Chain A
Amino acid sequence: MKKSNAIEVKNLIKTYGDIYALNDVDLNISDGEYFVLLGPSGGGKTTLLRSIGGFIRPDSGSVIIKGKNVNNLPPDKRPTSMVFQGFALFPHMDVAQNIGYGLKLQSIEKNIIDEKVNKMMDLVGLTGLHNRKPHELSGGQQQRVQLARALILENDVLLLDEPLSALDAQLRKDMCIELKRLQKTVGISFVHVTHNQEEAMSVADRIAIIADGKMIEEGTPQEIYNKPKKQFTAEFLGEKNILIGKVYNLNKSKIVLDINNDKIEIANNNYNVSKNQEVSVSIKSESIQIKKNVKSKTNEKNSIFGKVTEITFLGQFVRYLVLLSNDQEIQVRSSEEVANVKLNDQVILNWKLDDFILHNE
């Protein structure tokens, strides 16, 4: 069953002077989906989120929420609520007042507000903290109050602008689980902006990578992490082993690449490439096997020679830096030290045919 779209963004453009904060962005977010906008700082993801929320007027393009064009509506007239970066609470109101303030503005009866506030406080895990002032709360609790304040209005979409950036690493992990649970409970679409890939992977149903005002690619966390289509995505997700070369030969099942005169074979997963096209490929450092080279030649196609230049013990694994004959460096992660591989040894690297991922751009 195809889900209906909660948010459609079409050809959105926003400029600041000569700089494109958003350069022709299209985006569809389904009903009840946890969607993450991931990208480097200054890439335009917050601008995109604020355009959806109505805090920024785009130069052109349209934002459609629940089938209704909201381009000319102010934030409060849109069916969206926002959780702001940092601890954006009213400092002079206590927890219950902060949460209930949005309802109070709608002139709803006090006992109904109290009831909803209580329910919401139980939902986000703030039971019993009614009379605390914001400065008496921990960072995590303050963000829970923000969540409750936004969710109590029962809008169709919740927008979260770097909601966890002010929290420490452990708390961030806990809050990720909490956010995901909360989203499943209330069932509305969450749109979450972050530059932290771990945070994105742990909460998202789908992720869009945004950089330089453009949508780089989108997909499920698994697709983005395991099979990034673009070189940028691979680099952004911390991929170190990126090799640049040309397509030397190809058929339906295999592609042979020429990387500075070394031939590497990779699986052809319906890549749209042609002969002599310049491409980049990447491989996860844990997918490579390393062993001491005893022969002077190998007939294995999916392997390459190199020399160990650095061995670092990193607790859970050992990292080898291997210099290839074409001066490119490859990182290899191994769960345990490989016997008899020492510094400056000649080694041979192996991988499975489909471990290499090809990036079109």
Chain B
Amino acid sequence: MIIFFVLPLLLTVVWSVFERTMFWMEPAFTLFSYENFFFSSRLENFLSSMFHSSISVVCAFFIGFPIAIFIRRRVKQVAQHRVMLLFILPFMVSEIIRIFALRPILSRNGVVNSFLMDMNLIDSPFSIFVFTPTGVVIGEIVSFLPFMIFSTFLALEAIPNYIFEVCADLGVNRRRMFKDIFLPLAAPGLFAGSVFIFVNGIGIALIPTILGGPGSVNAGLIATQAIIALDFPLAMAVSAIMMFTLMGLLYLGHRLFNLTKLLEPIS
């Protein structure tokens, strides 16, 4: 824990206040890197990437959670894990290729646009699917949706079958079932999935690099660009800011929703 988690975190913070040299950095205490971050378009990019990540989380919730519920309720118990395996299959293809493959699908004369045009649903192709923040959000959903499905399915799987029989006996309708049973009992899984998608949404540089346009830069990409420009202290500062932001959000979430209660083991 200390070696793999606390130490890198500390180093990140320490290095972020070092002075930049030509090819590396030297020990010092300067907030130049932070200034560099907060008083440039980088802050704006960072905030918008948080916004886009949130949208990805919400979309993944509305797509992934119903899929997990469907698998838990409608697929035979013995087949459930096999169905879950299907969602692992995409991971056998390298992430770069998986995301790159979205380009011909989403581009101006890609599969989606051709289909919509052929169906006479639209007159001219949509160009917002790639090289825009929308493209990044789509890429994030495609990449991270399985994690939402996994984590919520695991939480739903822990719900004993008798709960559904009691519901049948009491006459719980679908809406009530979702609100009173699935949502509270899957809350830990939903939380884990959401945090995972949010963090990766702002942290993974690959997706905005391949699918994003000029306006869609996330924190991961800022850090990557800083490293390419050999500005290590800036890269460290960006990472540190990401970390603190996340901790702050978790704290806020804890104050608002009482995470301990939310994550209380169901027993």
A and B are interacting partners: yes
Decide if B165 is an interface residue (CB 8 Å cutoff): yes
Asked if B170 contacts A84 (CB within 8 A), the reply is: no
Interface residues on B, range: 10 to 19
- B181 in the interface, Cβ–Cβ < 8 Å? yes
Instruction: Report the separation of the CA atoms of residues A55 and B166 in the bound assembly, to the nearest whole angstrom.
Output: 10
Partner pick for A86 among B162, B168, B170, B266, CB 8 A cutoff: B162
User: For the complex, is A233 an interface residue (Cβ under 8 Å from B)?
Assistant: no
Task: Give residues of chain B (128-181) contacting chain A, Cβ–Cβ below 8 Å.
Answer: 160, 162-163, 165-166, 168-173, 176, 180-181
Q: Select B176's contact among A53, A84, A105, beta carbons within 8 Å.
A: A105
Residue in B169, B171, B173, B181 whose CB lies within 8 Å of A90: B181
Asked if B185 lies at the interface with its beta carbon under 8 angstroms from chain A, I say yes
Contacts between the two chains (Cβ within 8 Å), count: 52
Residues of B within 8 A of A102 (CB): 170-171
Chain A residues whose C-beta falls within 8 Å of the C-beta of B266 in the assembled complex: 91-92
**Given A92-B184, A92-B185, A92-B266, do A105 and B171 touch, yes or no (CB 8 Å)?**
yes
Known A91-B267, A92-B184, A135-B267; contact A76-B170, beta-carbon cutoff 8 A: yes
Chain B neighbourhood of A82, CB < 8 A: 165-166, 169
Q: Indicate whether A101 sits within 8 Å of B169 (C-beta atoms), given known contacts A86-B162, A91-B267, A92-B185.
A: no
A88 touches B185 (CB 8 A): no
Residue of A nearest to B161 (CB): A88
Contacts of A105 in B (CB 8 A): 170-173, 176
Chief secondary structure at chain B's binding surface: helix
Picked from A54, A77, A88, A92, the residue with its CB within 8 Å of the CB of B166 is A88
> Which residues of B have CB within 8 Å of A85?
162
When distances are taken between beta carbons in the complex, the residues of chain B under 8 Å from A84 are: 162, 165-166
Q: Which residue of B lies closest to A134 (CB)?
A: B267
A75: CB under 8 A from chain B? yes
- The smallest C-beta distance from A189 to any residue of chain B, in angstroms, reads 17
A81 within 8 Å of B (CB atoms): yes
Distance in angstroms between the alpha carbons of A84 and B170 in the assembled complex: 13
Which chain B residues lie closer than 8 Å to A125 at the CB level?
none
Chain A residues with CB below 8 A from B160, complex form: 88
Chain A nearest Cβ from B170, distance in angstroms: 4
Given contacts A91-B185, A91-B266, A92-B266, contact A53 B162 (CB under 8 A): no
Q: Mark each residue of chain A from 62 to 105: 1 if its CB lies under 8 Å from any CB of chain B, else 0.
A: 00000000000011110001101110101110000000011001
**Can you list, as one digit per residue, whether each of A26-61 has a CB less than 8 Å from chain B (1) or not (0)?**
000000000000000000000000000111000000
* Beta-carbon nearest neighbor of B171 in chain A: A76
Interface residues of B in 215-267 (CB under 8 A from A): 266-267
Please determine whether A53 and B169 come into contact, CB atoms closer than 8 angstroms: yes
A77 to B172, CA, bound (A): 11
Residue of A nearest to B180 (CB): A101
Contact B166 A90 (CB under 8 A): yes
Interchain CA distance A162-B162 in the complex, whole Å: 14
Tell me, rounded to whole Å, the shortest Cβ–Cβ distance linking B158 to chain A: 9
Q: Point out the residues of chain B lying under 8 angstroms from A88, CB to CB.
A: 160, 162-163, 165-166
The minimal Cβ–Cβ distance linking A155 to chain B, given in whole angstroms, is 10
Which one of A92, A101, A149, A150 has the greatest number of beta carbons of chain B within 10 Å?
A92
B contact residues vs A (CB 8 Å cutoff): 160, 162-163, 165-166, 168-173, 176, 180-181, 184-185, 266-267
Beyond A74-B171, A91-B185, A102-B170: 17 further Cβ-contacts under 8 Å? Answer: A55-B165, A74-B168, A75-B165, A75-B168, A76-B170, A82-B166, A84-B165, A88-B162, A88-B163, A88-B166, A90-B166, A90-B181, A92-B266, A105-B170, A135-B267, A150-B169, A153-B170
A-B contact pairs, 15 of them (CB 8 A): A53-B169, A74-B168, A74-B171, A75-B165, A77-B171, A81-B169, A88-B165, A90-B163, A90-B181, A91-B267, A101-B180, A102-B170, A105-B176, A135-B267, A149-B166
